[in-house]
Amino acid sequence: MAEVIWNKQARQEWRTRLLYGLSEFGETTAVHFVHRTNKIIERIRNHPDVGYPEPFLKHRKKTYRAYRIVGPLKLIYYYVKSSDTIRIADVWDMRREPQKLSKRIK
């Protein structure tokens, strides 16, 4: 089972989305968001290739993958086989301009 490491940007974006959901839609929505994220993390921890290759990052050396969390939000990650590590690179709102994703992930 792979180790999962969140980068600072991804963790901050996830927390922002969680707090927004809590303030706008209530505790039930926030709890669902947390449970859904944890379920996805467990799934990619056991099967790192389960997400689909992210088309806007296909030109990168690493194979970035995406997994939809809820609504328009998706988790962007990549797998480092040599260290059996999954790196969460971002939580991306698919309503944003797609070209900005490449700029956000360095």
DSSP secondary structure letter of residue 2: -
3-state class (DSSP) for residue 79 = strand
Q: How confident is the model at residue 15 (pLDDT cuts 50, 70, 90)?
A: very high
Instruction: Show the tokens assigned to 15.
Output: 């927390």
pLDDT at 44 over 90: yes
DSSP secondary structure letter of residue 51: S
CA–CA dist 32, 102 (Å, integer): 29
Average pLDDT taken over every residue of the chain: 94
The answer to whether the beta carbons of residues 40 and 33 sit under 8 Å apart is: no
Q: How confident is the model at residue 92 (pLDDT cuts 50, 70, 90)?
A: very high
- Residue with more model confidence, 32 or 106: 32
Please report which residue ranges of 26-64 form alpha helices under DSSP H: 27-46
Instruction: Return the H-helix or E-strand segment holding 11.
Output: helix 8-25
Which CATH number fits the domain that encloses residue 54? 3.30.2310.20
Give the domain range for residue 78. 3-104
pLDDT tens string 3-13:
999 999 999 99
Number of domains in the chain: 1
